[in-house]
Amino acid sequence: MPLKHDALVDLLKQAYSAEKAAAFAYQGHAASVRNADEKKAIHQIELDEWEHRKEVLSIMQEYDIPVSKYYEFKYHVIGKLISFSCFVIGWFMPYYFAGRLESGNVCEYFRMMQYFHSLGITTHNQVLYDMGIKEKEHEIYFLHSIKHKKLLPFFEKLFFWGSSNSFNNVDLDKKYPVNESAEYCKK
């Protein structure tokens, strides 16, 4: 059954490939930190991203959506570049930009849910919810790691993300249930 929703199809293709970029980036990030706990936590996040890629692919396969060769190439290069850059830009920036990126990714899964709902499809609610919430957990992990660093207020002013700015409205302490979670990320 094909999906008659261009924006949703594109979002799925892009998310599938961007998850690979994230996983590559975390490989470099984990390798570049010295602290064993940090290494372990970042490696776990890498594994989560590979899992997301699998979940997104299985949704795509249900609707015969092909993988985009363009996005696969583009995000391969981006992921490898970020991975490499982690070794040269110090400790703070990879943490900061990972958190900032995760913050934006949260809404991608809730936006997909809204798009599916516009087609009357609710069967992917749970998996999209789980992925959106997982990205939020990733955001919070990175934020907590840097929240007492002196650089944070300065970066927050420049890049609009930090202790008091997020790109989503998910609150892990007061989560909506799955069936109300399409309310997240509505502008």
Query: What residues are paired with 162 via a beta bridge?
Result: 165
Residues 142-181 that bind Fe ion (CB under 5 A): none
Q: How far is the CB of 91 from Fe ion (least distance, A)?
A: 19
Is 46 one of the binding residues for Fe ion (CB under 5 A)?
no
Is 20 one of the binding residues for Fe ion (CB under 5 A)?
no
Q: How far is the CB of 56 from Fe ion (least distance, A)?
A: 9
Is 52 one of the binding residues for Fe ion (CB under 5 A)?
yes
Which phi-psi region, left, alpha or beta, contains residue 165 (left: φ > 0; alpha: ψ -120 to 50)?
beta
Closer residue to Fe ion, CB minimum distance, 24 or 102? 102
Q: How far is the CB of 7 from Fe ion (least distance, A)?
A: 19
Helix (H, G, I), strand (E, B) or coil at 162: strand
For residue 17, which of 108, 138, 134 has the smallest C-alpha distance? 108
Name the burial class of residue 172, with classes exposed (0-12), middle (13-18) and buried (19+) by CB atoms within 10 angstroms of its CB: exposed
Q: How far is the CB of 50 from Fe ion (least distance, A)?
A: 9
Interface residue with Fe ion among 46, 55, 108, 135 (CB under 5 A) is 135
Q: How far is the CB of 102 from Fe ion (least distance, A)?
A: 5
Residues 77-116 that bind Fe ion (CB under 5 A): 102
Interface residue with Fe ion among 46, 49, 55, 108 (CB under 5 A) is 49
One-character DSSP codes across 119-168: TT--TTHHHHHHHHHHHHHHHHHHHHHHTT-THHHHHHHHHS-BTTB-SS
For residue 56, which of 6, 5, 130 has the smallest C-alpha distance? 130
Closer residue to Fe ion, CB minimum distance, 22 or 65? 22
Residues recorded for the chain = 187
Residues that bind Fe ion (CB under 5 A): 19, 49, 52, 102, 135, 138
